[in-house]
Chain A
Amino acid sequence: MIELNDVSKVYSNGVKGLEDVNLKINKGEFVSIVGLSGAGKSTLLRSINRLIDISSGDIKINEKSITSASEKQLRLIRRDIGMIFQSFNLVKRSSVLRNVLSGRVAYNNTLRTLLNLFPQKDVDLALKALERVNILDKAYTRSSELSGGQQQRVSIARTLAQEAKIILADEPTASLDPVTTKQVMDDLKKINTEDDVTVIINLHFVDLAKEYSTRIIGLQAGKVVFDGTPEEATPEVFEEIYGRSLKEDELLGEENL
């Protein structure tokens, strides 16, 4: 379970990224976060695994505060949280397998990982993860040689190999075409239902949010302005979140799916 209590984030330039956010996200939920660009979606997501230090409030992951965790505790908490980025953030020159294996670094002794001596069990896990996202045949390929969709599946495989209990995905499909978008969303949904992994995902397309999630959170200028089921998220609600009616490019469009 993830708990945010009175969380605020003020950036050094004075911009309020988050303001008094209170949320409780239960295990197994598929939560979409929607809102205008600049609403604070990335800030929220990156606060959860403390890639950003919040200014006030507290965030608890499974009862443990990540806000006040020591360096070592922080690494252990992060070990259980997978993250998927819009720009994939793979090391392009490394092989696919090495990128997936890098999800296991926190499970192993530092020296072993530096020498690239991962236990066979980790390698098996990484290969299985690649098979689950259908790119096992690319295991020894350079990541730069993969298409965008394939690269994103490598990062999903990394969270699988990581045996993450929570997946944070920051607009994972924003640089993908509609067909690949659907495959990536399906992969995430599959992991969510099969492995009971909590998924929190920032989405640009509201129809994707409605289709895949069990819960939608609307952000506006750092504040939570909507929190409910996809059924409750009517066009009027979105109009409120966005402060206007939806634009063409905020809908993936039914015909594309």
Chain B
Amino acid sequence: MIDTKLNGPLPAKPSRWPFYLFLLGLFAIVLISAIYIGANPITFIQNSDNMVDLFVRMFPPAWSYIATTTPAMLETIRMALLGTTIGMIFSIPIMFLCARNIFRLRWLVELSRIGLNILRTIPDLLLAAIFAAILGFSPLAGIVALSIFSIGIIAKLSFEAIENIDNGPLESMTAVGANKLQWIAFGVVPQILPHFVSYVLYTFEINIRAAAILGLVGAGGIGVFYDRALGFFAYDQVLALILYTLVVVIIIDLISLKIREKLL
């Protein structure tokens, strides 16, 4: 056994209390939150037979429902496609306004950024619910909602890409005396185009997922069938819908990924 008596003084031991208090505070917040919403594990356990029942009744999935819902699935894809496209078009001016290295007008840039950040706080489904109220229960409401939602993603990612571009081509454009539009077209666009297209495709992937549920608030697409099947407690149809959506999402993801890989 080694003698453990120290010859020198022990360094001051930092107090662990702040850390413990922080953990305690965090735990208290979680606990209060759980109590506030009545999250009771016992309720969950007592109702677990509901869950088992739900699972059991999901099988076998009602494959025939896939044929029934295919028109709605196609509508979902159409909505995502058009929503992404319209969002893309509107994103173009917005992303240039938000990038700090394009326009000198500081207040305009900051204002655009604040506007974009506010836009990004509103979830897709809320937008859809509002537009369903305005435009009526139609896929158009979904398309408009997705368009606005897409701007938030595409413009955000793109303006960040613009801010990261290489300055060299810009300087040479300035050197040859280009005006602002020429400067953007020849100095900026070629550099960000592949990124931009990639972000649009990425947004399309997200929009397919989003479009699949917009029907729940009456904004078109396959979502309305979830409501219907659940209303009838037809869980086998619900599972068919889930699997159908899953497969479509995966296929579109794969195609999009392939194109994106080619681009970058």
Contacts and interface: CB of A to CB of B under 8 A. Distances in A.
Interface in B1-46: 2-8, 10-14
B4 A128 contact: yes
Contact of B7 (A121, A125, A131, A140): A131
Nearest to A124: B4
Given A136-B10, A136-B11, A140-B14, A127 B4 contact: yes
Contacts of B14: 140
Contacts of A136: 6, 8, 10-11
B4 A137 contact: no
Nearest to B16: A116
Interface string A161-185: 0010000000000000000000000
A121 B4 contact: yes
Interface string A110-151: 000000000001001101100100001111100000000000
A131 B2 contact: no
Interface residues of A, number: 13
A140 B11 CA distance: 8
A139 B11 CA distance: 7
Contacts of A121: 4
Nearest to B7: A131
Q: Which of A131, A163, A195 has the most CB atoms of chain B within a 10 A radius of its CB? A: A131
B24 to A, nearest CB: 16
B1 to A, nearest CB: 9
Contacts of A128: 2-6
Nearest to A163: B2
A136 B12 CA distance: 11
A125 B3 CA distance: 8
Contacts of B4: 121, 124-125, 127-128
B2 A127 contact: no
A39 to B, nearest CB: 36
B6 A131 contact: yes
Nearest to A127: B6
A121 B2 CA distance: 11
Nearest to A160: B2
B8 A131 contact: yes
Contacts of B8: 131, 136-137
Contacts of A195: 2
A125 B2 contact: yes
A131 B9 CA distance: 10
A216 B12 CA distance: 44
A108 B2 CA distance: 18
Contacts of B11: 136-140
A125 B4 CA distance: 6
Contacts of B12: 140
Contacts of A139: 10-11
Interface in A171-219: 195
A166 B11 CA distance: 30
Contacts of A163: 2
B107 to A, nearest CB: 42
A131 B3 CA distance: 12
A137 B7 CA distance: 12
A104 B12 CA distance: 22
A174 B4 CA distance: 31
B10 to A, nearest CB: 7
B156 to A, nearest CB: 31
B101 to A, nearest CB: 34
A128 B8 CA distance: 10
Nearest to B14: A140
B13 to A, nearest CB: 6
A101 B171 CA distance: 57
Contacts of A124: 4
A83 B8 CA distance: 27
A197 B7 CA distance: 23
Smallest CB-CB A-B distances: 3 pairs: A124-B4, A128-B4, A137-B11
Interface of A: 121, 124-125, 127-128, 131, 136-140, 163, 195
Given A131-B8, A136-B11, 18 more contacts: A125-B2, A125-B4, A127-B4, A127-B10, A128-B2, A128-B3, A128-B4, A128-B5, A128-B6, A131-B7, A136-B6, A136-B8, A136-B10, A137-B11, A138-B11, A140-B11, A140-B12, A140-B14
12 contacts: A121-B4, A124-B4, A128-B2, A128-B6, A136-B6, A136-B8, A136-B11, A137-B11, A139-B10, A140-B12, A140-B13, A140-B14
